[in-house]
Amino acid sequence: MKRTGRRRSSVWDCFEQVGNFVRCMKCDATLKYCGGATSTMMNHMSRHHPYIAPLDEDEKPVICTVQCSSEEESAANNQDIMQVNIMSPNVAANIHERDYGERKRLKRSSVWDIFIKVDDEVHCTMCDTKLKYRSSTTSMMYHIKNKHPDTMPNDGVSLATHAEVTELISRMIEKDMLPISVVSGDGFRELLAYTVHNYKMPSAGDITRLIEGHFHEKVEELVVQLGRVEKVALTAEFWTALPFQRYITVSCSFITEEWQGRSAVLQTHKLSSDSHPTTDSVTEKLLNTVKTWGIPGKVTACVHNNTQDILSARACSRVSWDYATCFATTLQQAVSDGLSEDLVRIIIAAGKLAKHFSYNILASEALGQKQVQMCLPQHKLIQSSKARWDTICDMFERLLEQRWAIKAVLSDRTVTNRQEAQTLEIEDDCWQIIENFTPVLATLKWATTVISAETEVSISNIYPITFSLIQTHLVPRENDVEQVSEFKLKVQTSLRSHMEVDSNDLSSKPALIASMLDPRHKHLSFLTPTGRLAAKVKLHELVSKLDVITTTVGPKDEQQETLITPDISQVAMPSQMRSDTKNTMMLLLGDNYSSSYATDSEAQVDYYLRDIAPSLDINPLDWWRVNGPRFPKLATLARHYLCVPGVSLPSLLSESGQAFATMRTRLSPEHVDMMIFVNRNA
């Protein structure tokens, strides 16, 4: 295109005009031509061909508004309006003259303005944080972004974006428990190539090294945390991944000095796949985990979800902690024990009915029409799952809600033929059993949900709920049908057996000790007077043992046992006279005369038990945060026992547990331990 009055730009040596577009002769890129302006082409050359870009000596830096679009982008996106800063000729000329070594030094990340390298570590000069250095600045970038956002270095946009994308890919794999090989998929690579300009896709090895870096960072953080706590609780979760690979994931829970509950995964071990794991092999893995993390002597109890009695009294001889079965697993076993043949037959019939409406489109549409006509909620039917008994309750509740709409569809011969109707129809006496049985299942589901909820304290609720179920909710009533009464009695018997509620050693169970140390349940009103007395004696015994340990180790924080109150007499008399008077009064009346804090161990227990119990909606850790100085010995015990979870993590009924159980089946054995660790400790 010929222009008068101005010299033709040398950028036309690299571009040719094609209608309203210009085509780069170096890479065949097509750009929108705005009729006279070469800014788009100059910007393209400076970004994609910086060392061969033809620049005129007399061209000045300019900021102009242009419309940029490639041939591919114009079909899917609107034309974006952007501001492009054009480089001055002198700067461009200098770039051409620099050699490769100088250009490489220009790419040095500005995080090194804040970090210094010491051996195989990097030290932050602003907060003295130490990080492992593995030839990547990603961890330093994240540290600055999270801890010092005001000093965030501004590297080149493209370099920072690509590093962040790679980091996000590794985080995605960690959070979603995906196989690392996902980065090798053609579809995933096409997506990244389309969304991130000029992005160089990392290899599976690169992503593995990033995840390993995250793994080592989290390990170091957890080691520091565990070194600060006195006691921890373990959870041993047995699970199976396809194809029939058995694992045990060992987690720990503890309470911090600020009375915050914390939990973290420690290690995942692959068990023998050719036979059931033995007691000795599982115990050995638990002991190795405890030794690896440096917490021998710190474990209060271990909660597990094993139903094969692997962790039994025989195993207790080799360990110093108590064992407790996951309450959700125990309740699931009790429900299974309570199901009679009649109830199983009704459950199968109900499942067949729900399946029919799920897979038959004509029946499903007819059900929706009947729901509208009868003013019923437009809900789909729910099918139960063999793996989760609580879905039986969900299925029954939905069938009862839609009972008459279901009957109407089954009676309509244009939708359901006579043979199908006879096969699917549930008899009236079965409907009565379902109606009578559903509230009982709902109560059991509620009990499991309360214990399985991801709260900071759950173990202290186990025995209060267990006794409430046995003494109230599972007692047969006059209007109960025979099958439901039988179910209640069987579940009662199973709970009594598994929870050992009639045992003479009940007061030694970690769950009951935790109930005493929970201010909401400390009165143990669900026990008999004899049981309450035994529990009180046990609490005195634990406090006495704590005194012996404290005396052996040495005095700790004596100020915790002294009530700090303002000294009003400071205004009234000189300091010397005030000191003499105070010392004299202490000699006459004793150090703790005016203190409401209990310093004697037995007195602490008595004061604590006589204190008014708070309401059930308070968090026991919040209560101890405020009242801990009043009962320092009991506060220490509360940290030891309230950290024990009521269920193995993740629990059977929690949403995160269900999702986690599904995702982890996709892991390869080589990366199971690392991936579960970084996922659960995120």
Q: What is the pLDDT of residue 200?
A: 80
Question: What gap in Å lies between CA 265 and CA 152, rounded to an integer?
Answer: 32
By mean pLDDT, which of 51-55, 129-133, 200-204, 399-403 is the weakest? 51-55
Q: What is the pLDDT of residue 436?
A: 94
Quick check: 439 pLDDT over 70? Answer: yes
Q: Which whole number is the average pLDDT over 110-128?
A: 83
Quick check: 595 pLDDT over 70? Answer: no
* Closest of 603, 651, 654, 669 to residue 630, by C-alpha: 603
Question: What gap in Å lies between CA 325 and CA 304, rounded to an integer?
Answer: 5
Question: What gap in Å lies between CA 239 and CA 304, rounded to an integer?
Answer: 11
**The pTM is what?**
0.66
- CB-count burial class (<10 Å; 0-12, 13-18, 19+) for 675: buried
Question: What gap in Å lies between CA 596 and CA 25, rounded to an integer?
Answer: 88
Alpha helix locations (H) across 590-666? 601-610, 620-627, 632-641, 655-663
Both tokens of 172, joined, read 């995605």
* Closest of 117, 147, 142, 141 to residue 130, by C-alpha: 117
pLDDT in tens, 276-294: 677 788 888 899 999 999 9
Q: Annotate 375-388 with DSSP letters as a single string.
A: T---------BTTB
Q: What is the pLDDT of residue 324?
A: 86
Edge-to-edge strands, sheet with 121-124:
115-118, 121-124, 130-132
Quick check: 482 pLDDT over 80? Answer: yes
Q: What's the one-letter identity of residue 305?
A: N
More confident residue, 99 or 232: 232
Are 255 and 277 in contact by the 8 Å Cβ rule? The answer is no
Question: What gap in Å lies between CA 407 and CA 370, rounded to an integer?
Answer: 10
Q: What is the pLDDT of residue 308?
A: 66
pLDDT in tens, 530-543: 999 999 999 999 98
Strands 299-304 and 322-325: parallel
Both tokens of 17, joined, read 């005009």
pLDDT in tens, 61-101: 433 333 443 443 333 343 333 333 333 434 333 434 444 44
Q: What is the pLDDT of residue 409?
A: 94
pLDDT in tens, 1-30: 444 445 577 788 888 888 778 888 877 777
pLDDT in tens, 398-432: 999 999 999 999 999 999 999 989 999 999 999 99
Quick check: 249 pLDDT over 50? Answer: yes
Q: What's the one-letter identity of residue 581?
A: T
Q: What is the pLDDT of residue 134?
A: 77
Both tokens of 448, joined, read 């499991």
Question: What DSSP designation does 151 have?
Answer: G
Both tokens of 309, joined, read 């009695």
By mean pLDDT, which of 93-102, 184-193, 198-207, 208-217 is the weakest? 93-102
Question: What DSSP designation does 9 have?
Answer: P
Quick check: 393 pLDDT over 60? Answer: yes
Question: What pairs with residue 303 in β-bridges?
Answer: 235, 324
Confidence of residue 670 (pLDDT cuts 50, 70, 90): low
More confident residue, 84 or 309: 309
Q: Distances from the Cα of 384 to the Cαs of 64, 352, 374, 416, 621, in angstroms?
A: 64, 10, 25, 23, 37
Q: What is the pLDDT of residue 587?
A: 53
Q: What is the pLDDT of residue 534?
A: 93
Q: Annotate 333-370 with DSSP letters as a single string.
A: HHHHHH--HHHHHHHHHHHHHHHHHHH-HHHHHHHHHH
Contacts of residue 306, Cβ cutoff 8 Å, sequence gap at least 6: 236, 238, 325, 329
Q: Distances from the Cα of 397 to the Cαs of 383, 390, 391, in angstroms?
A: 11, 11, 10
Both tokens of 492, joined, read 């009662």
Confidence of residue 571 (pLDDT cuts 50, 70, 90): very low
In which residue are the tokens 């000095």 written? Answer: 257
- Is 239 strand, coil or helix? strand
Question: What gap in Å lies between CA 357 and CA 18, rounded to an integer?
Answer: 61
Alpha helix locations (H) across 98-149? 100-106, 138-147
Both tokens of 423, joined, read 């096969």
Q: What is the pLDDT of residue 451?
A: 81
CA dihedral 408, 409, 412, 416 (to 10 degrees): -150
In total, the chain counts a number of residues equal to 682
Confidence of residue 676 (pLDDT cuts 50, 70, 90): confident
- Is 483 strand, coil or helix? helix
Both tokens of 97, joined, read 């003259």
* Closest of 203, 191, 111 to residue 148, by C-alpha: 111
Q: What is the pLDDT of residue 148?
A: 81
* Closest of 511, 550, 547 to residue 647, by C-alpha: 511
Q: What is the pLDDT of residue 584?
A: 53
Are 283 and 318 in contact by the 8 Å Cβ rule? The answer is yes
Query: What whole-number percentage of the chain has pLDDT above 70?
Result: 74
Could you tell me the sign of the dihedral formed by the alpha carbons of 493, 498, 499, 501, in that order? positive
Strands 80-85 and 115-118: unpaired
End-to-end alpha carbon distance in the chain: 60
- CB-count burial class (<10 Å; 0-12, 13-18, 19+) for 340: middle
Largest Cα–Cα separation, the chain: 110
**54 cis-preceded (ω within 30 degrees of 0):** no
Both tokens of 571, joined, read 């205004």
Strands 261-270 and 245-255: antiparallel
Mean pLDDT value across the chain: 77
SS3 content of the chain, % helix, strand, coil (to 5): 55, 10, 35
**519 cis-preceded (ω within 30 degrees of 0):** no
571: left (phi over 0), alpha (psi -120 to 50) or beta: alpha
Quick check: 153 pLDDT over 60? Answer: no
Q: Which whole number is the average pLDDT over 461-488?
A: 92
Q: What is the pLDDT of residue 118?
A: 85
